[in-house]
Amino acid sequence: MRPYTALVRDIIVKGTLSENRTGIPAYSVPGAIFKHDMSYGFPLLTTKSVPLRLVASELEFFIKGITDKKWLQDRDNHIWDSWCWEKKVPYGHDLETKKAMAEERDLGPIYGFQWRHFDANYHGYDFEYRGQGVDQLENLIKDINTNPGNRRMIVSAWNPKQVGEMALPPCHYSFQVTVTDPSIDEETGEKKGKLNLMWNQRSVDTALGLPFNIASYGLLLHLLAKETGYEEGKLVGHLGDIHIYENHREGLLNQLSRVPLTLPKIETDNFTSIFDWEYTDSKVIGYENHGRIDFGSAAV
């Protein structure tokens, strides 16, 4: 995917090396935009393998508003293993704290909780939150269906009141949906127009995080289009501090030497509603890639 490749090159050439909270220096540039037209294929990188299974199961986790990382672990997804609810185990780099964070299953009021129960009082992963807080995702879908020209269709994971309790303050902190040229076909009654999704991200780990973010929001766009009956339009990422950790540089140079392949297609079986969707319902068709690159552990 050439837009991603261009971002990597820009950081390697122009990035400024500096220290950060992880202890691993990173090359950074201030601000970038990622753009992809979904008609060109599903945005899963081909210059390395990106497992849709992990991307999709995390997205289902968010859509359902779950905050128990054991739900992910039971599905062999270990993206959130190192994190936990700050109220139970405050963040730290020492071995004892890292062990305690790994053993604690509660992640606090993270992404999905804010999507489905924004600003509800958080009492733990095993509390029943139905009807509490603002269900931003449900409201978004209602707006797309009833007022597709609305320019206020925004979902925010950034809640200043609760950000200190979250296992990790949201990196991708909000997204907006627009519909291009919405109309109804007078003969068939079918909707016309394209659904677009723009996400905002404050901090961007280019090697490990960004490929997942691109695929995750591409999949969310796909699901919202199926939910509301519109065609899939454009995916745009507004990226803030976009960086490459020093220990990822060689792996990315290797990745840049690989020629991008044709993007796959995405298919979702037995779709009834985004709220009933399970990650195993979606599959990529014709996904060819150059194989895995070992970047080592993610910075935390």
**∠ at Cα 222 (219, 227), nearest 5°?**
125
Structure tokens, 213: 């973010």
Structure tokens, 260: 């991008």
**What spatial distance separates the first Cα and last Cα of the chain, rounded to whole Å?**
27
Q: Rounded CA gap, 100 and 61, in Å?
A: 23
* Cβ atoms of residues 24 and 247 within 8 Å: yes
Pairing state between β 26-37 and 16-18: antiparallel
Q: Rounded CA gap, 230 and 224, in Å?
A: 8
Q: Rounded CA gap, 239 and 110, in Å?
A: 20
Report the run of H or E that residue 33 belongs to, with start and end: strand 26-37
Is 171 annotated in the active site? yes
* Cβ atoms of residues 157 and 111 within 8 Å: yes
Of 113, 98, 103, 100, nearest to 67 (Cα)?
113
Main-chain dihedrals φ then ψ at residue 29, nearest 5 degrees: -130, 145
* Cβ atoms of residues 108 and 122 within 8 Å: yes
Catalytic residue chosen out of the listed positions 171, 210, 252, 263: 171
Pairing state between β 231-245 and 191-205: parallel
């009933």: which residue's tokens?
Answer: 276
Catalytic residue list = 171
